[in-house]
Amino acid sequence: MPTSERTIPVDTVIHRRRLFSGLSEKTIMKYLNIRSLSHAYEDTRICSICQNEFVKNDEIGMVDCRHEFHVDCIKKWLMRKNKCPNCRSKGLAVCRVIEKEQVYKIMRKVIRQGVNTLCCLRSFD
């Protein structure tokens, strides 16, 4: 059976979805709960991403599920995927707002590419 031009293989869709499931650094820094470790923990606690101990004055970032990591470690992680590395729950619940300029850019693209694009965009609503 010939593949139509509109058909996209499922593995391509899954791959694209994984590629774009992270957050921007700006968004992460806006929503990540960050604190400086004022004293060393009595028990040994480690960042599960880099496997290093938390020490006094480390910058600690806490995701929504309350797991803690070094800020640099969790920032890199969340830029790839917005999931907690420990429990796989949503890393940061963010409100994604589309700026007016982004809307104009999308509309210009729709106008250039014609009605079929608009139909495709509407089908994902």
The whole-angstrom distance between residue 7's C-alpha and the CA centroid of its chain comes to 27
The per-residue pLDDT for range 64-85, each reduced to its tens digit, is 999 999 999 999 999 999 999 9
The per-residue pLDDT for range 34-61, each reduced to its tens digit, is 999 888 777 788 999 999 999 999 999 9
Gap between the Cα atoms of 113 and 108, Å rounded: 9
Tell whether 32 and 67 lie within a shared domain: yes
Q: Is the pLDDT of residue 10 over 70?
A: no
Tell whether 88 and 108 lie within a shared domain: no
Domain residue limits at 113: 96-125
Contact 47, 54 (CB under 8 A): yes
pLDDT at position 108 is: 81
Tell whether 85 and 112 lie within a shared domain: no
Tell whether 29 and 73 lie within a shared domain: yes
Give how many domains the chain has, as a whole number.
2
